[in-house]
Structure 1
Amino acid sequence: MAIEKMSLVNIAGLMDELDATLKRCCESGCFHIEPAGNSPDSAMKPLSEKNEYDRPLKELAQLSTQLGITLKETDFTDCDLSAPQDFNSLFEKYNTPFSELNTKRLELTQRISELGGAVRQIDHLKGMHSDFQQLFSMKYVSVRIGKLPVDNLPKLDYYDENFFFVPFEMGKSFCWGMYFVPERDKQRVDDIFHSMYFERIRIPSYVSGDADEALEKLKQTIDVDTVENAKINEQINELAAKAEPELQKAFSKLRFIHDTFDLRRNAAALNDKFYLKGFIPEKEKGRFDKLFSDMRSVSVVYLPPDADASCEPPTVLKNNFLTRPFTMLVEMYGLPEYKGYNPTAFVAITYTLLFGIMFGDLGQGLLIVLGGLALKKKLGAKISGLVTRLGISSMIFGTLYGSFFGYEELLDPVFENIGLDFLPLKVFKQTNFILITAVAIGVALIVISMILNIYIGFKNKDYEKAIFGCNGIAGLVFYSSVAAGLVGTLMFDVKVMSAPFVIFLIVIPLVCIFCRTPFSIAVKYKQWRLSEDEEKMTVGNFIVENFFEMFEFLLSYVSNTMSFLRVGGFVLSHAGMMLVVMTLMEMCSAAAQPLVLVLGNLFVMVMEGMIVAIQIIRLEFYEIFSRFYEGGGKPFEPVGVKFTAQTE
């Protein structure tokens, strides 16, 4: 697996052709634009123009929302609008009648709301037969209408003030009524009623007649206004239906023009000429050239990807059908640099292998495969492909374990007929073998990771990384020797740890790791220095700093290796959970056993499947990637216009 080769593209032409050039760059779908003219020494300066399509875009979006039109991407090839004034004219064409109708609608809606409030207020005063206008026109007596808490009604008798309260309706919590008070005493009496939580109801001035007459007039007015409001809403809907096709096309085109114009900020200009730069995949050169074949004033020049030190080439991972779904895991960690190493194939192999080992069941694996295929449209091709491959791995190792939906003995006759006496693996009878194998897999993957690190280090001429680092040749020799010595001594009773073995394969590599910086400087520059910045590094500081780093390296060798015990642990965990399911099934009646079996398998698949997937990501990122892989690459983002109704 490799990284797609890129070419640096310089595009120059007359300013009149800039918009057309940017449009064709968008249509190409393969042009990754870079800011031009960002060098302080360059005579060409970046364009910093205000996008004159901002206001029309916002206005059309707002008008469409008010008309109840849901904007969506629409073919605009037959839309003749292009200048900001054209879109402004279209906006005015529909906004003027809409504004008139909407103003009337708002007025009616507000009046209906006010009349409705008056109805709710007067409804509690049905027992009052006095004319409202006569009441409020009295010269020497003031009237207050409202509601008083029922508990405070008896307290009115405690006051000797000159007022009287007339109740109309008694509710559970409130009593609606009105009180009369002489004009000269109203301030004092109002304070009394306020202290008893009297809530005044202000009757609108347009209400006339007694309560019953006022209610009837108000309801008639509300009915008339409601009918009128419905007619206006119908007119607005008709206007929206008429405007929608034109607004959809206009907005889609305006969005394209607006976003294309935004790309002008990446261009540089000098006099009447513009300059653009970016990257395209090398294989797209021919197709990209054809886009500009009819634009004689525009020149397209291809350069090596590293020709411009001010911009870094983007990374496009080049993977085959089998490994492509695992690209998402690499992108999750971080893309490699353009000249880096594409680890997707390595991730595909290790992730699939580890998942099958940790989640091995023939039946459950089959369901995972079928689920991945069935949900391809919903999950997407990448996730569906990933799930399908993991399911196949689970089926393979499930066959080796002899496990089919928790039935551990079901496949025994098959292996007996074939003559494979050592299969299937009985998890609980071969616990030590499983755990030791898990650690051995971890050692193998760490060693492979170190070999990859050595390859990348030599490729980039980083000798500290390739030779003297904890993951370079010195680290590989040390780690492999310690692993071989422990295996030979503890498992095969072979005395491997002889004096020459320890000195040449353990001590000397440790010294190389400890002095990795001065050794790499000596190889590269042919001189001895403790660090690149020797003035800031004393011998004491060098010893202390590298001592603690050495301790961290040694600790990582142990912790990373032991971390792979979780691989064997999940093999045992999966078998244990299925044993619990089978035990629960046997405890149930014959009728309930199928239900317990189905639910138990689904529970194990969902819960443990997710946990295993997450744990393998942890192993990949922390135990494997940390030894050879560095992200930091720039994603390839071809320019284009993605339709959205959002204007902010």
Structure 2
Amino acid sequence: MIEKMKFLSITGPKSDIDRVANTYLSRYEMHLENALSELSTVRDLKPFVEMNPYRDLMSKSEELVKKIDKDCTASHKPMTPSEAADVITDAYLMLEDLNLQKKQLKDTKTHYKELLHTIEPFKMLNYEINKIMEFKFIKFRFGRISHEFYNKFSKYVYENLNTVFYECDSDEDYVWGIYFVPATSSVKIDAIYSSLHFERIFIPNEYDGTPEEAHDAILQKIEEITKQIKEISIKIKKKIDSVGPELLLAHTTLLTLTKNHDIRKVSACTKDRSIGKNNDDLVFYIVCGWMTLSQADAFLKEIESDPDVYCISEDVQQDIGTKPPTKLKNPKIFKPFEMFIHMYGVPAYNEIDPTLFVAITYSLIFGIMFGDVGQGLCLVVGGALFYKFKKMNLGAIVSLAGIFSTIFGFMYGSVFGYEDLIPHMWMKPMDNIMSVLITAIVFGAFLIIFAMLLNIINAIKAHDYARLFFDTNGVAGLVFYGGIIACVALIFTGHALPGSIVLTIMFGVPLLLMFFKEPLERKLEKKAELFPDGKGMFVLTSVFEIFEVLLSYASNTISFLRVGAFALSHAAMMGVVLMFAGAEQGIGNIPVMIIGNIIVAGMEGLIVGIQVLRLEYYEMFSRFYRGTGKEFKPFKNN
């Protein structure tokens, strides 16, 4: 069901907004609306603009809380905003020097890693780097060249150049090395190397000894710095743990204050002009939004003794600018099925909540399609455990669907595929194939008619009379489709059809109402033009629409054949498992039966679950449900 709502406009002195948010709005669930847009007719209404004073403290708090041990719990005592600010500031100052040291060490470590990465490909060079740097008459270039150009260079160019290339390392793509060239020829030789795509690597003058010695020395320095960083981290952790409970409480307090401050984003300000134009002390905030009926009554009763809070409440009316949000309230056993509703779209405030309908029909259809006592009980237990430990709604849905699978398992007399352990209470699907398929179609027709009735109720609630009387799922559609079902039932049961006049009224009048839905709707809305696109275009469009409607009646009804088909499919698949296990006349091979049941239950359970959801959305929801509502999102839970 959908909870009833009240629209509240709360006002009071501007300076009192934080107290109101902390005292009332943090305890009552209120879906806030933008006051500027909701109260657009009010004079002198301005946005509530004010910088968040807790922003800097909040960033420091988040940085500190990340370092607290996960097992640490917050203190349980009241804390004022100033006390929270002092706790966070003191903790930040306490760790400031250590954090600075740690940052400097990390920067140094990063620099050494870059040096290590640069020198690593040249470890095979057995000459001191600082001496190479001191060459005056010989130029040198560290770098790398791809294998393709290095091979060409070695074969056709190297012997004719006044240069020496010393190869240091290579991988599958490049050759690393250093080339030497007389200073007088360096310009020409550099140009030739560049044409061969030689990529220079600039070596900083920070290495001592040979590249290998420098490499080892840098590694040792990185290890020392890592050790120092670890020691500082231990010191930081000890200090932060000593104030952990207080810090967590301060962080929680700041979170609440920051969230309460955010209420200004949807609030507005106005002045009492009756006192004076320049009296800034008489500025009032305005907060407006929706509360459930029960919460609104409790809130209004509580603020009666508060002289600084004034509230106007309104019931849902057509003239309220914004549409009310939707808050679903269902029994705990059906609440997990709200997941399917949210996937399709939340119902509008004046729509029927289809949760109960979905919970019953989904579980029932699932049970019919997947009827097996043993596998059904496995779904019940598995889904319940999944829901209990993982807190996922899908687990509860699977568990409830498993109950119906178990029930229909008794109906079919099937236990883990065995059909001779218990007597069937209804029928065995494989022995009554036509009965199963016909029953599925009859069941589907009943659900379609029920969906049409729900559409009629929704139309009445929305005062949409065109949808009520002329829609393909309204009264006209219900009479037409119900007439077809009744005639088919009479034919199959051997009874005579009604007279031609009755049939004409039963089919002709609804068909004409559906055909002329658009002009009739415009007539009800008192619009001037009944055929805005012309009569010819209207006739052509309506003919195709009526044809599509008739086709959809047939296709939607036949679509329910899959309910019977999957019941037969389950029996057939388990028959194959029994055959492989050699269980036609007995228990058979137990490991084969276990594996076969797991495969069938997993594969068919998934497919059946998807197919049932498809029937819900396309064959039933499309007839009565629009899902155009907006979800109720209370301020205190945002």
Q: TM-score range by the shorter chain?
A: 0.7 to 0.9
Separation in 2 of the partners of 1:468 and 1:362?
A: 46
Deviations 1:552-586 (A, max 9, x none): 22122111111111111111111111111112222
Among 484, 491, 515, the alignment partner of 1:482 is: 484
Aligned pair 1:338/2:339, yes or no?
no
Work out whether residues 578 and 604 of structure 1, in 8 Å CA contact, stay in contact via their aligned partners in 2. Answer: yes
For 1:168 and 1:509, the matched residues in 2 are separated by 91
Structure 1 367/495 Cα, relative in aligned 2: closer, same or farther at 3 Å?
same
Match of residue 441, structure 1, among 440, 443, 447: 443
- Tell me, in whole angstroms, the C-alpha distance in 2 between the residues paired with 1:493 and 1:250: 80
Distance in 1 separating the partners of 2:233 and 2:117: 27
Classify 1:398/1:119 alpha carbon distance in 2 versus 1 (closer, same or farther; 3 Å): same
The superposition leaves residues 511-562 of structure 1 with CA deviations (integer Å, 9 ceiling, x where unpaired) of 233234555677x68xxx7x66437264434433332222222122111111
Q: What residue identity is the alignment partner of 1:396?
A: I
Q: In the alignment, which residue of structure 1 is the partner of 2:516?
A: 515
The one-letter amino acid paired with 1:5 is: K
C-alpha spacing 1:73/1:302, structure 2 compared with 1 (3 Å): farther
Identify the range of structure 1 (173-182 vs 469-478) with the bigger mean alpha-carbon deviation: 173-182
Give the counterpart letter for 1:627 in structure 2: R
Paired residues of 1:8 and 1:307 also in contact (CA < 8 A):
no
Partner of residue 18, structure 2:
19
Hey, what does 1:496 align to over in structure 2? 497
CA 1:120–1:347 in structure 2 vs 1: closer, same or farther (change >3 Å)? Answer: closer
Residues 63-72 or 259-268, more deviating: 63-72
Question: What is residue 31 of structure 2 aligned with on the other side?
Answer: 32
CA contact (8 A) 2:102 2:232 kept: no
- Residue 336 of structure 2: aligned partner: 325
Which ranges in structure 2 are unaligned for 5 or more consecutive residues?
272-282
Higher mean C-alpha deviation, range 172-181 or range 377-386: 172-181
Tell me the residue number matched to 1:10: 9
Distance 2:360 2:81 in 1: 54
Rounded Cα–Cα distance in structure 2 between residues aligned with 1:537 and 1:233: 78
Give the counterpart letter for 1:548 in structure 2: F
Question: Residues of 1 paired with 2:334 and 2:162: CA distance?
Answer: 94
1:296: which partner in 2? 307
Offset of 1:151 from its aligned partner? 5.7
Contact 2:28–2:299 (Cα < 8 Å) also in 1: no
Query: What amino acid is the match of 2:268?
Result: A
| Corresponding position of 2:227 | 230
How far is 1:82 from its partner?
Answer: 4.6
User: What is the letter of the counterpart of residue 268 of structure 1?
Assistant: A
Local SS of the residue matching 2:294: helix
How far apart in 1 are the matches of 2:154 and 2:325? 84
- Asked if the contact 1:11–1:300 (Cα under 8 Å) also holds between the matched residues in 2, the reply is yes
Structure 2 CA distance, aligned partners of 1:381 and 1:220? 55
Closer, same or farther: CA 392–402 of 1 in aligned 2, 3 Å:
same
The question of whether the paired residues in 2 share the 8 Å contact of 1:45 and 1:268 is answered with: yes
Pick one of 529, 545, 548 that aligns with 1:549: 545
Q: Distance in 1 between matches of 2:284 and 2:580?
A: 79
In structure 2, give the amino acid aligned to 1:323: F
Matched, 1:560 2:562: no
Question: Residue 284 of structure 1 aligns with which residue?
Answer: 295
User: Do structure 1's residue 572 and structure 2's residue 568 form an aligned pair?
Assistant: yes
Q: Distance in 1 between matches of 2:61 and 2:98?
A: 14
2:594 equivalent in structure 1: 598
Stretch moving more, 339-348 or 538-547:
538-547
Q: 2:353 is matched by which residue type in structure 1?
A: N
CA contact (8 A) 1:64 1:70 kept: no
| Secondary structure of the corresponding residue to residue 8 of structure 2 | strand
Q: Identity, % of aligned pairs? A: 31
Which of 258-267 and 24-33 deviates more? 24-33
Contact 1:362/1:399 (8 A) holds in 2: yes
Q: Is the 8 A contact 1:360 1:398 kept in 2?
A: yes
Question: How is 1:77-88 mapped onto 2 (pairs within 5 angstroms)?
Answer: 78-82=78-82
Q: Structure 1 residue 62: deviation in Å? A: 7.0
Q: How far does the alpha carbon of each residue in 1:336-373 deviate from its partner, in whole angstroms, 9 at most, with x for none?
A: 22222222222222222211111111111111111122
**Aligned in 2, Cα 1:600/1:185: closer, same or farther, shift over 3 Å?**
same
CA contact (8 A) 1:44 1:268 kept: no
Residue 364 of structure 1 contacts residue 605 of structure 1 at CA under 8 Å; is this kept in 2?
yes
TM-score, structure 2 normalization: 0.84
1:46 touches 1:265 (CA, 8 Å); kept in 2? no
Once residues 204 and 473 of structure 2 are traced to their aligned partners in structure 1, the CA distance between those partners, rounded to angstroms, is 86
Alpha-carbon contact 1:147-1:175 (below 8 Å) kept: yes
Q: Residue type matched to 1:505 in 2?
A: M
Q: Which amino acid aligns with 2:563?
A: V
1:321 to partner: Cα distance: 4.1
CA distance change for structure 1 residues 82 and 633 in 2, over 3 Å: closer, same or farther? farther
Which residue does the alignment assign to 1:505?
A: 506
Give the counterpart letter for 2:267 in structure 1: A
- Taking structure 1 as reference, are residues 514 and 230 closer, same or farther at Cα in structure 2, changes over 3 Å only? same
The question of whether the paired residues in 1 share the 8 Å contact of 2:122 and 2:168 is answered with no
Q: How does 1:93-104 map to 2 (within 5 A)?
A: 93=93, 96-98=96-98, 100-104=100-104
Question: Structure 1 residues 86, 9: closer, same or farther in 2, change over 3 A?
Answer: same
* CA shift in 2, pair 1:201/1:403, >3 Å: same
SS, match of residue 317 in structure 1: coil
Q: Give the equivalent residue in structure 1 for 2:274.
A: none
Amino acid at match of 2:299: F
**Aligned AA for 2:435?**
F
Is residue 370–residue 567 contact of structure 2 (8 Å, CA) maintained in 1?
Answer: yes
Answer whether contact 1:336 1:632 (CA < 8 A) is retained: yes
- Residues 482-522 of structure 1, C-alpha deviation per residue, up to 9 Å, x if partnerless? 22222222x23333053123222222222233234555677
CA distance in 1, matches of 2:532, 2:270: 46
Do residues 315 (structure 1) and 326 (structure 2) align? yes
2:385 paired residue number: 374
Residue correspondence of structure 1 range 71-470 to structure 2 within 5 A: 78-82=78-82, 89=89, 93=93, 96-98=96-98, 100-113=100-113, 116-117=116-117, 120=120, 123-126=123-126, 128=127, 133=130, 135-142=132-139, 159=159, 181-191=181-191, 204-207=204-207, 211=210, 219=216, 223=220, 226-228=223-225, 230-243=227-240, 245=244, 247-271=247-271, 272-289=283-300, 292=303, 295-306=306-317, 309-380=320-391, 382-412=393-423, 423-470=425-472
Question: Unaligned stretches of 5+ in structure 1?
Answer: 416-422, 643-648
- Aligned mates of 1:197, 1:460 — CA distance in 2: 75
Please give the alpha-carbon distance, in whole angstroms, between the structure 2 residues aligned to 1:560 and 1:468: 20
Question: 8 Å contact 2:455–2:623 — kept in the other structure?
Answer: yes
Deviation at residue 294 of structure 1 after TM alignment: 5.9
Give the aligned residue type for 1:279: W
Amino acid at match of 1:469: D
- Tell me the distance in 2 between the aligned counterparts of 1:154 and 1:381: 66
**Matches of 2:162 and 2:538 in 1, distance apart?**
98
1:110–1:615 CA distance, 2 compared to 1 (3 A): closer
User: 1 CA distance for matches of 2:121 and 2:64?
Assistant: 38
Q: More deviation in 271-280 or 40-49?
A: 40-49
Taking the aligned partners of 2:317 and 2:207, their CA distance within structure 1 comes to: 83
Secondary structure in 2 aligned to 1:630? Answer: coil
Contact kept in structure 1, 2:348 and 2:627, CA below 8 Å: yes
User: Would you say the 8 A contact 2:383–2:396 is kept in 1?
Assistant: yes
The 1:72–1:514 alpha-carbon spacing in structure 2 relative to 1, beyond 3 Å, is: farther
Q: Relative to structure 1, is the Cα distance of residues 73 and 559 closer, same or farther in structure 2, using a 3 angstrom cutoff?
A: farther
In 1, are the aligned partners of 2:376 and 2:403 still within 8 Å (CA)? yes
Tell which deviates more after alignment, 76-85 or 598-607.
76-85
2:581 corresponds to which letter in structure 1? M
Q: Aligned to 2:582, what secondary structure does the other structure show?
A: helix
Q: Which amino acid aligns with 2:382?
A: G
